Amino acid sequence: MTDPQLSRIDGTSSARRHFRYFDYVMASFVAILLLSNLIGAAKLAQVGGFTFGAGILFFPVSYVIGDVLTEVYGYANARRCVWMGFFALIFMAFMSYVVVAMPPSPGWDGQAAYESVFGSTWRIVLASVTAFWAGEFVNSFVLAKMKVWTAGKALWTRTIGSTVFGQAIDSLLFYPIAFLGIWTVDQVLTVMVTNWAMKVAWEAGLTPVTYAVVGWLKKREGAEVFDTDTDFSPFAKAPQV
């Protein structure tokens, strides 16, 4: 339920307002996004006979932080963070390509290992960037709309609900773009559905953490944002201060 001690502000006002902790949350969002793609994406792990991409353990945390951003700071501020993450992913892919392509020094024998970790095909890069961009915007849009519909009540319904749709778009784009034609259709569909279900389950499991973080930030920011007048276009310009 909405705290009566918090000042209610609309989405346009939130984009103009200076928030004390916003920059820290945005930095955390981008850092986890990059690290989960860079460190975990290339490794297949097996626990209890179940094989999965190691990155799935931490990538959903970026969706949790995305939920926190929209819930606490509004869609317009979350939009800024999605674009920051989008361009950070592109730069990471470009930097990885340049560094991997540079001729190794004679006598250095780490090139093969370096390529296996940091080298990605153009399809993987395209799939990652496209899926992240579309999935995060859908996630933020659904959460912002549901917050207005629920009058700020039942936070869990919109954090999980937005993840259901956001991760669905993410998976529907990533796996076909990255692997269709390399894997069989059945394999693509199986991995797509399995990973979507695991990410949604992760979001549900982290609900108590989301509640704690959202509550802590709202009290310190002193505001409750409702996107009643927000332009939800991903390309909308930020309001002038």
Q: What is the pLDDT of residues 65-110, one digit of tens each?
A: 999 999 999 999 999 999 999 999 999 999 989 999 999 999 889 8
For residue 18, what pLDDT is reported? 87
The C-alpha angle with vertex 136 and arms to 40 and 234, in degrees rounded to 5, equals 140
In sequence order, which residues have a C-beta less than 8 Å from that of residue 164 and are 6 or more positions away? 200
For residue 38, what pLDDT is reported? 77
Which tokens go with 203? 């979001």
**Is residue 59 a contact partner of residue 37, using CB atoms and an 8 Å limit?**
yes
Domain ranges of the chain: 7-100+113-226
Q: What is the pLDDT of residues 207-216, one digit of tens each?
A: 999 999 999 9
Residue with tokens 């579309």: 134
Q: What is the pTM of this model?
A: 0.90
Domain 7-100+113-226 has CATH 1.10.1760: yes
For residue 12, what pLDDT is reported? 79
